[in-house]
Structure 1
Amino acid sequence: MDAQKVDMYLMTNGKFFEGHQIPMVREKLLAMDEARFAQLHSINLKDPTTILIVSIVGGGLAIDRFMIGDTGLAIAKLLTCGGLGIWTIVDWFIIMGRTREVNATKFFQIA
């Protein structure tokens, strides 16, 4: 893969990954062929900031967990009313990191 394309991809999508994951993502992108790179653009990466806003607004209803694909935790959070509010508040601090982990998992499945 062309280094310029890789750098452009990382500039555009770097916010979807943790800082320590960026070098691994760059290595995978450099080793990737053009067909795989085109397939990579089709995956749906979630924006951590958007998920945080959803968590603040609708975290008690577990909308944030449903959006990132944590269905089991979302059902548990929904049934316990956000862990009586405690789980909802804790998610405000960890949901962005969890979103980036889910994005990295999706990326490495393709790459």
Structure 2
Amino acid sequence: RKNPADKSSKDWIVTLLLCFFLGGFGVHRFYVGKVGTGILQLITLGACGVWTLVDFIMIALGNFTDADGKRILNDR
């Protein structure tokens, strides 16, 4: 059972769409508060797309976390 306290306040669909459209620039990571890795993704263009693809899959499956370690989940 999922603990509601472990859920991020960040919106799942916003995170997913930011990753899909602007993932190579790390925008989804800036959105969830992961500024350091967001800068790394910006510099490496999402590690040539591989890192972005992994993030997209993690977000879609509900395993992506925000800067506080809380999972960004689909409530729909």
Letter of the aligned partner of 2:34 in structure 1? D
Equivalent residue number for residue 40 of structure 2: 76
- What RMSD, in angstroms, separates the aligned Cα atoms of the two structures? 2.4
The residue type paired with residue 45 of structure 2 is C
Q: Which runs of 5+ in 1 are unaligned?
A: 1-19, 29-43, 105-111
In 2: Cα distance, 1:57 partner to 1:68 partner: 16
User: 1:1-111 maps to which residues of 2 (within 5 A)?
Assistant: 20-21=1-2, 24-25=3-4, 45-95=9-59, 96-99=62-65, 101-102=69-70
Contact 1:61 1:77 (8 Å CA) reproduced: yes
Partners of 1:67 and 1:103 in 2: how far apart?
A: 14
SS in 2 for 1:79: helix
Contact 2:63 / 2:71 at 8 angstroms: preserved in 1?
Answer: no
Rg bigger for which structure?
A: 1
TM-score with structure 1 setting the length: 0.50
Deviation at 1:60, TM superposition (A): 0.6
